[in-house]
Amino acid sequence: MVPLAIVAQVIGSVALLTYCVDTEFTLWSIAASILYTVLFKVMHLWLGNETIEGYPKVAYYVSLLSQCVVLPSITCGLVWKHRHDFEGWLYGPHGAPERDPWRMAVFSSIAGAMMKDFWIYGDINEWFMVIHHFFSIYACCFVSNATVFQGHIALNGLQAECLSFIYNVRVLWPSNTSRAIHCIVMTLSNFCGIICTYLYCTEVEDDALLYRKALYCLISTALVAVRFAGANESLQDIRKGPGSPTWGRASRAPSPLKKTTISRR
């Protein structure tokens, strides 16, 4: 992609964050993206220029650090804050979303991790990745702006992002074991997402939230479909063995836009 397109992606992300949430959340997300970019640069100097199918190998390590260390740590703080009324937080009060710094930290971290990909990959950015990240950033905005079922929606998004670590494990250390674990973990994670979406759409009866139900279903359906497609490809690789065209390298969910697309989240 040309630099102008990268600038447009960043500006679009900031505009999306500002429109869907507020300026404070946007600033937190930008700060997170800067921190992740610095971490990427430092680890790149340490680990070198090795790539996987043209993409920096270090990017997968940065994602693992975010999914296995940063997000779980902040999530513990989020759950601990609501320990005295956990059930009340799960279903959430109807009204203006609570200004929860822990929740803001979690989802601005995810949004920032997505935003940083827009500039660290430069001209190897692909439109499928751009569209995927825009949807993910919008999902972060949706969760941060939730007025009901706040805990359910937050934990659903967190489990989906944190359990995506197995994708990076499969890419970095491809084997039958990592592929099998990927299939199992993604299936369980997807069913958690389906159940949460079902509860949100059936338990919330306020007609004023109908459009939010539709958006949540759209986001969940798209992400579940992509994750199931990736798990299915891992399963096919196990069945075919070394004869599979994706054996021994990063497997990827099929893209409707470009067959050589690879997701890095």
Question: Can you give the pLDDT at residue 123?
Answer: 65
**69-81 pLDDT per residue, tens:** 999 998 898 888 8
Find the mean pLDDT for residues 138-153: 80
Q: Which runs of consecutive H residues, i.e. helices, occur in 21-92?
A: 23-47, 57-65, 71-81, 86-91
Q: How many domains does the chain have?
A: 1
Question: Is the residue at 260 inside a domain?
Answer: no
Question: Is the residue at 261 inside a domain?
Answer: no
Question: Can you give the pLDDT at residue 93?
Answer: 63
Question: Is the residue at 250 inside a domain?
Answer: no
Question: Can you give the pLDDT at residue 5?
Answer: 58
Handedness of CA 137, 102, 105, 64 (dihedral sign): negative
Question: Can you give the pLDDT at residue 252?
Answer: 39
Average pLDDT, the chain: 78
Whether residue 253 has pLDDT greater than 60:
no
Whether residue 114 has pLDDT greater than 90:
no
Per the model's pLDDT, the better-predicted residue between 157 and 252 turns out to be 157
The structure's pTM equals 0.78
Banded pLDDT at 1 (limits 50, 70, 90): very low
Q: Can you tell me the distance from the alpha carbon of 176 to that of 106, in angstroms, rounded to the nearest whole number?
A: 32
Whether residue 208 has pLDDT greater than 70:
no
Question: Is the residue at 211 inside a domain?
Answer: yes
Count of beta carbons in the 10 Å neighbourhood of residue 33: 25
DSSP, res 52:
E
Domain span at residue 34 reads 3-243
Question: Is the residue at 262 inside a domain?
Answer: no
Whether residue 181 has pLDDT greater than 90:
yes
Question: Is the residue at 264 inside a domain?
Answer: no
Question: Is the residue at 252 inside a domain?
Answer: no
Whether residue 36 has pLDDT greater than 60:
yes
Question: Is the residue at 59 inside a domain?
Answer: yes
